[in-house]
């Protein structure tokens, strides 16, 4: 069967986007042999149709391809991984803008790092601004994935990953190392209180729920803990400057505002291209 007829049949039978089918086909052609790119008949690769069937059950394309695009880079993902989201690119862009404006060197800490998509993107695009980078997460699965991504993306940088709960952050912030220094913290922590119709079906069924859901009242509670922790660390470890960039859920404008004002912290709200508030830049 001609390749074009096979593609037409798949799209008509399963109603999937042609771009997804194209990516699946390329995966198998690449795996089998590059020569297959030249072959007209690919209908014998039965795995293509198996993968297409998974898509119709909301299985994420990124898990089928074992890769997710984030900030123009390709990240390895598997079924244990929260797939990096385009939403988080706003946070990365804000940090890069800030670094380009300040033109100084920072120590970078990423809290809840998982694939390491935030610190690896920052170090890939602007390594000159980051003296040292540490990503922390409580998930051992995350550690395996993050290491793989580091090997693929930024080999020679001082970047390390620690299995650590941020509630014990002070154990790695030594006064001797960070006194009078500039620190940037980035965090995309679980911030969704309840199941929400803004989430897609595949998130509900397939992605790790612990990476997403938290909080009793607003969902912002884990960030409140982190901010309180950073206030104490800044004072106790005599740190000159702590800049914090966090990603929030679309309905947390009010609760974040009242918490930050109560703490008398200055902050900037950063909106995505749809004019939705998704990122906060906070001066601790």
Ligand X SMILES: C[S@@+](CC[C@H](N)C(=O)[O-])C[C@H]1O[C@@H](n2cnc3c(N)ncnc32)[C@H](O)[C@@H]1O
Positions that interact with ligand X (CB under 6 A) = 82, 84, 88, 111-115, 117-118, 136-139, 142, 165-167, 188-190, 211-212
Burial 41-54 (b: 16+ CB within 10 A, else e): ebeebeebeebbee
Nearer to ligand X, 55 or 211 (CB): 211
Angle CA 121–169–209, to nearest 5: 65
Following DSSP, what letter does each residue of 111-146 receive, concatenated?
A: ES-TTTHHHHHHHHH-GGGEEEEEEEES-HHHHHHH
State in angstroms the smallest separation of the CB of 10 from ligand X: 30
- C-alpha distances out from residue 215 to 192, 195, 220, Å: 7, 12, 7
142: tokens are: 């995350």
Nearer to ligand X, 43 or 202 (CB): 202
State in angstroms the smallest separation of the CB of 283 from ligand X: 22
Nearer to ligand X, 52 or 118 (CB): 118
State in angstroms the smallest separation of the CB of 139 from ligand X: 4
Nearer to ligand X, 221 or 243 (CB): 221
Sign of CA dihedral 101, 103, 109, 115: positive
State in angstroms the smallest separation of the CB of 247 from ligand X: 7
Following DSSP, what letter does each residue of 75-94 receive, concatenated?
A: EE--TTSPPP-GGGHHHHHH
DSSP state of 205: H
Would you call 31 exposed, middle or buried from its count of C-beta atoms within 10 A (0-12, 13-18, 19+)?
exposed
**Closest residue to bound ligand X by CB:** 112
Nearer to ligand X, 60 or 84 (CB): 84
According to DSSP H, which parts of 158-252 are helical? 175-178, 201-206, 221-236
State in angstroms the smallest separation of the CB of 218 from ligand X: 16
State in angstroms the smallest separation of the CB of 21 from ligand X: 26
State in angstroms the smallest separation of the CB of 127 from ligand X: 19
Nearer to ligand X, 24 or 121 (CB): 121
Closest CA relative to residue 226, chosen from 241, 211, 246: 246
Nearer to ligand X, 88 or 218 (CB): 88
Nearer to ligand X, 52 or 246 (CB): 246
State in angstroms the smallest separation of the CB of 110 from ligand X: 7
Rounded CA-CA distance 69/254 in Å is: 31
136: tokens are: 């922390």
Would you call 36 exposed, middle or buried from its count of C-beta atoms within 10 A (0-12, 13-18, 19+)?
middle
């Amino acid at each position: 069967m001609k390749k074009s007829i096979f593609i037409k049949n798949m799209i008509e039978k399963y109603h999937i986007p042609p771009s997804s089918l194209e990516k699946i086909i390329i995966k198998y052609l690449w795996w089998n042999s590059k020569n297959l790119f030249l072959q007209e008949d690919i209908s014998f690769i039965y795995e293509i149709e198996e993968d297409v069937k998974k898509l119709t059950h909301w299985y994420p394309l990124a898990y089928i391809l074992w890769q997710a695009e984030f900030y123009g880079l390709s990240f390895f993902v598997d079924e244990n991984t929260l797939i990096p989201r385009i939403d988080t690119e706003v946070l990365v862009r804000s940090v890069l803008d800030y670094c380009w404006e300040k033109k100084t060197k920072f120590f970078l800490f990423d809290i809840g790092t998982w694939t390491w998509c935030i610190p690896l993107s920052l170090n890939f695009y602007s390594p000159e601004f980051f003296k040292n980078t540490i990503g922390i997460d409580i998930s051992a699965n995350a550690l395996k994935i993050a290491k793989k991504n580091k090997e693929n993306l930024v080999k020679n940088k001082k970047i390390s990953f620690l299995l650590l709960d941020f509630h014990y952050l002070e154990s790695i912030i030594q006064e001797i190392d960070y006194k009078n220094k500039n620190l940037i913290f980035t965090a995309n922590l679980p911030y969704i209180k309840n199941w929400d119709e803004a989430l897609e079906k595949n998130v509900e069924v397939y992605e790790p729920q612990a990476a997403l859901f938290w909080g009793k009242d607003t969902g912002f509670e884990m960030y409140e803990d982190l901010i309180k922790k950073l206030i104490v660390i800044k004072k106790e470890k005599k740190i000159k400057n702590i800049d914090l960039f966090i990603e929030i859920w679309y309905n947390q404008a009010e609760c974040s505002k009242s918490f930050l004002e109560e703490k008398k912290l200055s902050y900037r709200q950063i909106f995505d291209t749809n004019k939705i508030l998704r990122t906060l830049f906070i001066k601790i």
